[in-house]
Structure 1
Amino acid sequence: MPEEDDAGEDHQGRMNRRTALGAGAAALGGAGVGGAVAAHLSQAASETDLAITNEINANLNNARHLFKITAAEPQQFDGGNLRGATEDNFPVLSGQNGAVYLVRLEVGGIREPHWHPTAWELNYVVSGSAKWTILGTHLDGSYRNDVFEAGQGDLVFAPQGFFHYFENARTDMPLDVLIIFNTSVREGSDDIGIKAALNAIPRDVLATTLGIPASALDAIPTDIAPVVITKRR
């Protein structure tokens, strides 16, 4: 019978059967332990995931990064309403240069012509159709006046400082537009409307500029008020 060395092999390089069986048993035992550990970790991970999910669900209405804009109290106007998320009511936006408004224009509704001196805006048409006008300067020194209609799913960009307005183009349904600003302040703090602009100019100067008699301006309201949503009469 061949002699065995300490490594459990005979001199012909064959492994001792007892050693082989012992190694196999150890391997199987290790696999069993590993499987048990893996199963335990998997169960623990599942329980952790469940706990996290339950915590998120429990705090869904209180999470500092969550704002339910459709549930916000709307500002009501003659031609529609708007709901906003700004640093005033969504503190996480403070210092982030971002604000969002959901605007609804009823049939005949018009967003007063205006411009934002320090902010641009992205307008996403959620539903309905909008007539747009955007007036701005260009490198050749001329004005460029873009007039177009945007429908559901369209995105409209109004550059910082460009004069613009939009209105509900439909006669059978409201217009819903989601507006994103690169400012954290509330709407009205960075708007200059056409009515306020006209009333910031002496009537005789405005009349001279327009080439009309001052009496032709008598019907223009004299208040300097924030930008509003109005309605066709």
Structure 2
Amino acid sequence: MFKETFYLSAILAAIANAAPAAVAPSNPLRGGEGLIGYSPSNTISNENTESISYQLAPSQTQDADIGAYLDFSTIDNPQPIRGSLGGTDPGPRNLNYDRINPDKLAPPGTDSGATINAQWPLGLSHTKLGKSGAGWSRQENIDVMPAATLMAGVDMRLEAGGYRELHWHVASEWSIVLNGSCRIQAVNEDGQTFIDDVGKGDVWFFPAGIPHSIQALDDGVEFMLVFDDGDFSEDNTFLASEIFAHNPKEVLSKDLGVPVSAFQDLPEPNLFIFPGTPAPKDIEEQNVTGSAGSVPKAESYSYHFSEQPAEELEGGSVKIIDPLSFPIAKDFSAALVTVKPGGLREIHWHPTSDEWTFFIQGQGRATVFTPPSDATTFDFMGGDVGYFPQSNSHYIENTGSEDLIFLEVLQADHFSDVSLAQWVGSTSKQIIQDTLNLSNETLSKLSTEKKTVVL
């Protein structure tokens, strides 16, 4: 007991004799104790934050639950106000973001809680520049969109004659040509070869591990690549220049049956995107075929989706590509959807897959609903990626003055969705009335048919 008391006394004495707490020195960079807390000499700013000048967009005074689209594009100082909800924002702010994301600044009253972030503008992705002006690429994956776990995307541009270096990767690659044209080549595990020219609207698919190359033709090319792994990164592909750089030249000599001197002029590794000799006009000049022959047509790596007619609908059009028509692209199903101004890709959900969406043209918005009660509305523009988890309902509304065109990609063996309108219209009217309290007049207008795109 005596020792414990002695030790405690020593500790208390040491604390008492310790140096006093540091006091901010008097200099122009710091204030002093007189500014802490209450003091009769303190003064506060008399800036009036209620006097800011602003205007409201059309429909902004409507009841918040109506949720009409708010066009802030010409509004000088848009405000986070919906009906009786919200209030003014004197700043600081980035008005450019507020104008292009009205449903983030002034969300519909039907939004609730917080869903995943279902939007990523590729314009915010870091751009990887190719060599000697040959092109560029930028990507979306879980680094920027953490919830998009099933799929990732890469937007790539190749100037005329530019190459995406010979390579392969662990993930499977599905692609649609956005503009221009290119020549694609591959060799499968059986030694069968493949070559084709693809243009705007066409699709290709390379299974995991299949080595391939892409070269832009005379008019250049841009394409969107979709990979079946949300963690995919274009920086982790297996490149031809790297495999040659990281194997002993003696081993390469034995492997390829050529002298070591053949490798004295190898390029620096990681060519990635680089300029090359323009492809010959006649594709047959590059059609190399060994004893294994060519990849059978039924297993072709390309599909001329541009030549498939779209189904014309009330509010736009749609056409579908999936393994039923393009067998090699196992588990890749997609719909190319066009929505007229004012039209709507109807409220729906996909029962077996997340949806990865790329907006090709125009502008639109979507509300994603996640049970039990979370809902968030997002605004999209051309070049944006959207992501809607499996069975989470959503719509896509055209909020612009031109056609809205977007691509819906699923990891599924066929393209499918469930339509809210068809479900409600195909259920006993008594059940719907008891559940939703809809009038008989409303019930009489419900349809049993899926409309996909409405106006």
TM-score between both structures, scaled by the size of structure 1: 0.65
Q: Indicate the residue corresponding to 1:184 in structure 2.
A: 413
CA pair 209-218 structure 1, distance change in 2 beyond 3 A = same
Q: Aligned with 2:302: secondary structure?
A: coil
Q: Which runs of 4+ in 1 moved over 3 A?
A: 49-53, 212-216
Q: Are residue 126 (structure 1) and residue 365 (structure 2) matched?
A: no
**Per-residue deviation, residues 129-175 of structure 1 (Å, max 9, x unmatched):** 111011112xxxx311111211111111010001111011102x111
Query: Structure 1 CA distance, aligned partners of 2:435 and 2:419?
Result: 18
Q: Are residue 230 (structure 1) and residue 450 (structure 2) matched?
A: no
CA contact (8 A) 1:114 1:227 kept: no
Question: By how many angstroms is 1:195 displaced?
Answer: 1.8
The one of 303, 307, 324 equivalent to 1:88 is 324
Query: Structure 1 CA distance, aligned partners of 2:328 and 2:351?
Result: 24
Q: Aligned with 1:124: secondary structure?
A: strand
Query: Structure 1 CA distance, aligned partners of 2:285 and 2:348?
Result: 45
Q: Are residue 208 (structure 1) and residue 208 (structure 2) matched?
A: no
Which runs of 5 or more residues in structure 1 are unaligned?
Answer: 1-33, 39-48
Question: By how many angstroms is 1:213 displaced?
Answer: 4.0
Q: Indicate the residue corresponding to 1:9 in structure 2.
A: none
Q: Indicate the residue corresponding to 2:219 in structure 1.
A: none
Q: Percent identity?
A: 20
CA contact (8 A) 2:313 2:451 kept: no
Question: By how many angstroms is 1:52 displaced?
Answer: 7.7
Q: Are residue 152 (structure 1) and residue 152 (structure 2) matched?
A: no
Q: Are residue 117 (structure 1) and residue 351 (structure 2) matched?
A: yes
**Per-residue deviation, residues 170-217 of structure 1 (Å, max 9, x unmatched):** 02x11110111111213xxx2111122112322122112123444442
Q: Aligned with 2:421: secondary structure?
A: helix
Q: Give runs of aligned pairs for residues 62-73 of structure 1, distance below 5 A.
A: 64-73=300-309
Q: Indicate the residue corresponding to 2:25 in structure 1.
A: none
**Per-residue deviation, residues 41-67 of structure 1 (Å, max 9, x unmatched):** xxxxxxxx98986218xx9xx681112
Q: Indicate the residue corresponding to 1:219 in structure 2.
A: 445
The one of 325, 333, 358 equivalent to 1:99 is 333
**Per-residue deviation, residues 55-81 of structure 1 (Å, max 9, x unmatched):** 18xx9xx68111232332211111111
CA pair 213-179 structure 1, distance change in 2 beyond 3 A = closer
CA pair 212-81 structure 1, distance change in 2 beyond 3 A = closer
Query: Structure 2 CA distance, aligned partners of 1:195 and 1:68?
Result: 33
Q: Indicate the residue corresponding to 1:13 in structure 2.
A: none
Q: Give runs of aligned pairs for residues 130-141 of structure 1, distance below 5 A.
A: 130-137=364-371
Q: Over aligned residue pairs, what C-alpha RMSD do you find? A: 2.9
CA pair 135-55 structure 1, distance change in 2 beyond 3 A = same
**Per-residue deviation, residues 73-127 of structure 1 (Å, max 9, x unmatched):** 211111111222211221212xx21112221112222111111111111011111
Query: Structure 2 CA distance, aligned partners of 1:209 and 1:65?
Result: 49
Q: Indicate the residue corresponding to 2:391 in structure 1.
A: 161
CA contact (8 A) 2:352 2:391 kept: yes
Q: Indicate the residue corresponding to 1:108 in structure 2.
A: 342
TM-score between both structures, scaled by the size of structure 2: 0.35
Query: Structure 1 CA distance, aligned partners of 2:373 and 2:404?
Result: 28
Q: Aligned with 2:353: secondary structure?
A: coil
Query: Structure 2 CA distance, aligned partners of 1:216 and 1:229?
Result: 20
Q: Aligned with 1:133: secondary structure?
A: strand
Query: Structure 2 CA distance, aligned partners of 1:203 and 1:77?
Result: 26
Query: Structure 2 CA distance, aligned partners of 1:215 and 1:82?
Result: 31
Query: Structure 2 CA distance, aligned partners of 1:154 and 1:220?
Result: 33
CA contact (8 A) 2:323 2:331 kept: no
Query: Structure 1 CA distance, aligned partners of 2:431 and 2:318?
Result: 35
Higher RCO, Cα 8 Å, sep 6+: 1
The code of the aligned residue for 2:300 comes to: R
CA contact (8 A) 1:191 1:227 kept: no
CA pair 53-163 structure 1, distance change in 2 beyond 3 A = farther
